[in-house]
Structure 1
Amino acid sequence: MRRYRHSEQRVPTGRPYLLREVYDKTPSIDDRICALPDPADPTEYEAIADALWDLFLSTRNLAEQRSGTGCTRHPDGPVDTEAPEDWGFCLLCNTNRRRGQPSSTAAQKPPKHVWAVPPPPYTHGALLQTRRSLNDALLELNYRAPDASFQAVADLAHAAFVIARELSRPRTYGCLVHPGAPLDPAAPKGRPMCIFCAGRERRASYGPPTVTVRPSRPLPPVRHPDR
């Protein structure tokens, strides 16, 4: 009986359909971005942010799944948004450490973000530059491209979405990191800061957290039966 061997260049199931879906969504997004003036009203970026998020979902399905916690024990567990510095992002492991179990640790170098997040400031020019990089990466993409190429496309799509999302926020406060965020009423006078930046500085001033290790209970004496 003749046996057939699968080719090493076999295309994964569903990749051609998802890749065609990405190619169909990209031109309309490019037209919307190029048609906007600089600067544009924040409301004009809302539809672009929604379209980029839809594009990111398609590119994310083409790439390998990533863990938001960086933890080998709980790869799909909840993320600790208040994780101290040099700690993992796994909420379950960090809770055990806070309870006095220092041996419970997450990944040594957890990713700061699951997908790429560009640094501020977020401007219309940054959105155009990210769009060009995304189009260049899509031109080199094919059915048998390596997995790293699909991950790079997903990162660029997410970066473009983050920029458009920040540009769609109301311009009520000039924070470059969190545009549109409300002011912190407890911030020092003369230093107006948004609530996110003020909270980050406040947590940094607390220093590293103290881990209380529970003392082990002494073993009871061994009772020998009376002879």
Structure 2
Amino acid sequence: MSYSDVRELRTALQTATDIAYGWEANPPVDQLAEVSDALRRALASVRAMESELGGTTGCREHPRGAVDPLYGDKDDPLPPGWGRCLLCNDRRRRAASGRRAAR
């Protein structure tokens, strides 16, 4: 992770905060676009840091593996203790159904 990523994150968040701080009930449309741009820059910085710090799955075995598309699905929530790793979750699903994992 680079200092420039952290600096960009702080700058973008401060910009959004500075603009939005004075808003009342009806913010100006041109300022909405500025805040939106600043928040996009902040999100891009966070994603860059996230990818540098070990991936998106949070899995020790597959830190840069595929993210389970069912992760966070409100209609089909993952069981307690399951994570975002598609490979591990697929293995768990196969074990729960009694099927052998493909090799």
Aligned mate of 2:53, from 52, 58, 65: 65
Identical positions, percent: 31
C-alpha distance 26-99 of structure 1, shift in aligned 2 (>3 A): closer
Matching residue of 2:74:
none
**Equivalences for 1:68-79 in 2 at 5 Å?**
68-79=56-67
2:97 is the counterpart of 1:212: yes
2:58 is the counterpart of 1:89: no
Matching residue of 2:19:
32
CA RMSD of aligned residues (A): 3.7
**TM-score (norm: length of structure 1):** 0.30
Aligned mate of 1:54, from 30, 35, 41: 41
Q: 2:20, 2:35 within 8 Å by CA — same for their partners in 1?
A: yes
Matching residue of 1:152:
none
What runs of 5+ residues in structure 1 fail to find an aligned partner? 1-11, 101-210, 216-227
2:71 is the counterpart of 1:80: no
Number of aligned positions between the proteins = 91
Give the distance between the partners of 2:91 and 2:63, measured in 1 at CA: 16
Q: Deviations over 1:66-111 (max 9, x none)?
A: 54222112101122242422222211121122223xxxxxxxxxxx
Residue 31 of structure 1 deviates from its aligned partner by 3.1
**Max radius of gyration: which structure?**
1
What runs of 5+ residues in structure 2 fail to find an aligned partner? 72-77
Give the distance between the partners of 2:23 and 2:98, measured in 1 at CA: 58
**TM-score (norm: length of structure 2):** 0.55
